[in-house]
Amino acid sequence: MIGWRFLFSRQWAGYLALTILFAVVCAGLGMWQLDRRGQALAEIALVQQNFDSEPVPIAQALPSLGAFDESQKWLRVTVSGTYLTDHTMLVRNRPLNGNPGFEELVPLQLDDGTVFVVDRGWLPTGQRQDAPDVVPEAPAGPVTVTARLKAGEPTIAGRSASGHQIATIHLPEIEGRVDAPTYTGAYGLLATEDPAPAQRPVAVTKPIPDEGPHLSYAFQWFTFGVLGFAGLIWAARQEFRSRNADDPEERERAAERARRKAAKPRSDAEVEDELLGHR
């Protein structure tokens, strides 16, 4: 009887190594999905904590122009000043509900001369040109704005724009455009303006809590890793039966398996396949 000695061969050592590698990869992908779920849950917590919070003065939330912490995302702040409407900018490639569009940015200059960039909302792409048909004007004169903080965006290689359009909300670039000290840690998504204009772009809506399918994906990857070992065990068992087919004990077990299989009720599909095979 050969037994299980074949498992100590170089070939089966290779099979084991491949199975372990597969399991490690699956475990890594599973942990990655759990990490993504953690990020989604953290974002949901920030929305619940900050989106409808009591507004605080911008100087309290951002004590310096470069200050911003990710925990402040969606935090509502109040800031007063005058819109620099001559520096109104449109951010390209901003779809909303599947529709192409732009976001309107207007720098707000505070009494001390510093500038806070306000995203006044979304505008659809025009019918005949690659720009909105109408850009609602920001209120003239002194205005008090309530906005939700959001981190500035990096530049993207290969993406550019010209004129009053910009590719991303890269705050240092905007600072260069307005030529004034500017908050570069964060900008604001407009919530309210006082005085309120007759018309404004589409306001940002509260994100719907959705952690995504990451937990189920993680479970699937972990399951795949376990199934790899199950498949290896099954293959080893089949190899054992093949190599020991002439052993009396294995013949007895093979006969017992055949007997149980014959005694098992056949499914309708099996009966149908047998009948079709006789035609």
pLDDT of 278: 55
Based on the fold, state whether residues 62 and 163 are members of the same structural domain.
yes
Report residue 246: phi and psi, to 5°. Answer: -90, -5
Based on the fold, state whether residues 35 and 144 are members of the same structural domain.
no
Note whether residue 275 is domain-resident: no
Based on the fold, state whether residues 107 and 87 are members of the same structural domain.
yes
Q: How many domains does the chain have?
A: 2
Based on the fold, state whether residues 15 and 95 are members of the same structural domain.
no
pLDDT in tens, 172-186: 999 999 999 999 999
Based on the fold, state whether residues 163 and 35 are members of the same structural domain.
no
Based on the fold, state whether residues 34 and 70 are members of the same structural domain.
no
Rounded to whole angstroms, the Cα distance separating 100 from 112 reads: 37
Based on the fold, state whether residues 35 and 64 are members of the same structural domain.
no
- The residue-averaged pLDDT of 84-108 equals 94
pLDDT of 277: 61
Which DSSP category does 278 fall into?
Answer: T
Note whether residue 240 is domain-resident: yes
Question: Sorting pLDDT into bands at 50, 70 and 90, what band is 202?
Answer: very high
Note whether residue 276 is domain-resident: no
Note whether residue 139 is domain-resident: yes
- Facing residues of 119 across strands? 105, 189
Question: Average model confidence (pLDDT) for the chain?
Answer: 89
Contact 121, 137 (CB under 8 A): no
CATH number of the domain residue 184 falls in: 2.40.50
Residue 93 burial class via C-beta count within 10 angstroms: exposed 0-12, middle 13-18, buried 19 and up: middle
Q: Which domain holds residue 238?
A: 1-51+209-263
Q: 109 to each of 80, 83, 141, how far by Cα in Å?
A: 8, 6, 11
Return the percentage of the chain with pLDDT > 70, whole number: 92
- Contact partners, residue 122, CB within 8 Å, separation at least 6: 94, 96, 101, 102, 103, 104, 201, 202, 204
pLDDT in tens, 222-269: 999 999 999 999 999 888 888 787 777 767 776 767 777 767 776 666
Based on the fold, state whether residues 19 and 66 are members of the same structural domain.
no
pLDDT of 43: 93
Note whether residue 179 is domain-resident: yes
Parallel, antiparallel, or unpaired: how do β-strands 165-166 and 142-151 relate? Answer: unpaired
pLDDT of 275: 62
Based on the fold, state whether residues 175 and 76 are members of the same structural domain.
yes
Residue 168 burial class via C-beta count within 10 angstroms: exposed 0-12, middle 13-18, buried 19 and up: middle
Based on the fold, state whether residues 47 and 57 are members of the same structural domain.
no
Note whether residue 259 is domain-resident: yes
Based on the fold, state whether residues 43 and 76 are members of the same structural domain.
no
Note whether residue 228 is domain-resident: yes
pLDDT in tens, 245-258: 777 776 777 676 77
Based on the fold, state whether residues 62 and 92 are members of the same structural domain.
yes
Alpha-helical segments (H) within the chain: 10-50, 58-61, 171-178, 214-243, 248-263, 268-277
Note whether residue 199 is domain-resident: no
pLDDT of 274: 64
